[in-house]
């Protein structure tokens, strides 16, 4: 069993990992102390011949101590967590230079919509991929997340991204990768019988390679006269083929909020 966290390739991944380990250590210490106390009480106050039970109120000092210490620890963790949450999830947390991409989840696939030549989502030159997410390295990415049918969960462990997609809501999710490569989106919410195969390929490009890829998609759409929809290969466990992806209409510039 691998007890380590997944590889971190997100700019804010270190903050999340540090928070994870702080909470794990604090709760681990609390767990050990409580279990040791339980075992000690079981041994010390076990039934023994010749010993009679007696009533004792206990110690007010100890009661104050074991109430105040966990309370202070909880408040400290709350303040620490709030600062990390505000940095990642706060209002207008996404950098202004973010590249905007729309992701629409449905049973059992991920439809991704990119801005076309005008770099604005929700216009006629948008194009889509099915079960593929492409973006450049070292640039903030702002995903506008939607769900068409039921709850799904947009989960990319290496980017420390995990966000529920809720029907009727458009939820912004931002991240910035520090490394190129191929990874996967998984659905981390039980969403139906096909939940186990609801995966998509994540490809992180060098900036020039990403621009070249976008140019290829725009050219293919112009040549065909139809919306460009690229399906991921079936080795991800998806029964995918050619089809029209769902466009998520958001009038946001690809270059800013």
162 with 201, same domain: the answer is yes
Interval 154-190: pLDDT, tens: 999 999 999 999 999 999 999 999 999 999 999 999 9
Residue 190 maps to a domain:
yes
Q: Are 219 and 79 in contact (CB under 8 A)?
A: no
pTM of the model: 0.79
Could you tell me the CATH number of the domain that includes residue 142? Answer: 2.60.40.420
Model pLDDT, residue 234: 35
Residue 231 above 70 pLDDT? no
Interval 76-126: pLDDT, tens: 999 999 999 999 988 788 998 999 999 999 999 999 999 988 888 888 888
Residue 249 maps to a domain:
no
Model pLDDT, residue 238: 41
Residue range of the domain that includes 217: 99-236
**Number of folded domains that form the chain:** 2
Residue 255 maps to a domain:
no
CA-closest candidate to residue 69, choices 37, 30, 35:
30
107 with 128, same domain: the answer is yes
115 with 41, same domain: the answer is no
64 with 167, same domain: the answer is no
76 with 116, same domain: the answer is no
Coil/strand/helix, residue 39: helix
Residue 228 above 70 pLDDT? no
Model pLDDT, residue 121: 87
Of 89, 110, 144, the residue that ends a domain is 89
| Region of poorest pLDDT, from 61-75, 171-185, 218-232 | 218-232
175 with 224, same domain: the answer is yes
Residue 4 maps to a domain:
no
Model pLDDT, residue 93: 87
Residue 252 maps to a domain:
no
CA-closest candidate to residue 184, choices 164, 212, 159:
159
121 with 199, same domain: the answer is yes
More confident residue, 256 or 99: 99
Residue 19 maps to a domain:
yes
155 with 192, same domain: the answer is yes
Provide the mean pLDDT of the chain.
85
Model pLDDT, residue 117: 81
84 with 127, same domain: the answer is no
Model pLDDT, residue 3: 67
137 with 114, same domain: the answer is yes
Model pLDDT, residue 31: 95
Q: Are 18 and 65 in contact (CB under 8 A)?
A: no
136 with 214, same domain: the answer is yes
Residue 157 maps to a domain:
yes
Percent of the chain with pLDDT over 70: 86
Residue 256 above 60 pLDDT? no
Q: What is the CA radius of gyration of the chain?
A: 25
């Amino acid at each position: 069993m691998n007890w380590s966290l997944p590889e971190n390739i997100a700019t804010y991944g270190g903050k999340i990992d540090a928070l994870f380990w702080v909470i794990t250590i604090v709760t681990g210490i609390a767990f050990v102390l409580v279990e040791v106390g339980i075992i000690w009480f079981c041994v010390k106050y076990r039934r023994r011949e010749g010993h009679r039970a007696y009533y004792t109120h206990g110690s007010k000092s100890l009661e104050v101590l074991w109430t105040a210490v966990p309370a202070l620890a909880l408040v400290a963790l709350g303040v620490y967590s709030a600062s990390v949450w505000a940095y990642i999830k706060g209002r207008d947390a996404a950098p202004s230079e973010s590249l905007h991409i729309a992701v629409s989840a449905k049973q059992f696939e991920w439809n991704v919509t990119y801005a076309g030549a005008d770099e604005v989502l929700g216009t006629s030159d948008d194009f889509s991929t099915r079960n593929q997410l492409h973006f450049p390295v070292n640039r903030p990415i702002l995903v506008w997340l939607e769900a068409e049918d039921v709850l799904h969960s947009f989960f990319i462990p290496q980017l420390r991204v995990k966000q529920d997609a809720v029907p009727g809501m458009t939820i912004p999710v931002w991240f910035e990768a520090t490394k190129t490569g191929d990874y996967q989106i998984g659905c981390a919410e039980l969403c139906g019988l096909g939940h186990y195969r609801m995966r998509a390929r994540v490809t992180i490009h060098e900036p020039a390679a990403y621009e070249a890829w976008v140019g290829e998609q725009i050219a293919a759409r112009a040549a065909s006269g139809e919306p460009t929809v690229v399906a991921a290969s079936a080795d991800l466990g998806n029964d995918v083929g050619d089809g029209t992806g769902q466009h998520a209409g958001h009038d946001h510039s690809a270059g800013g909020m």
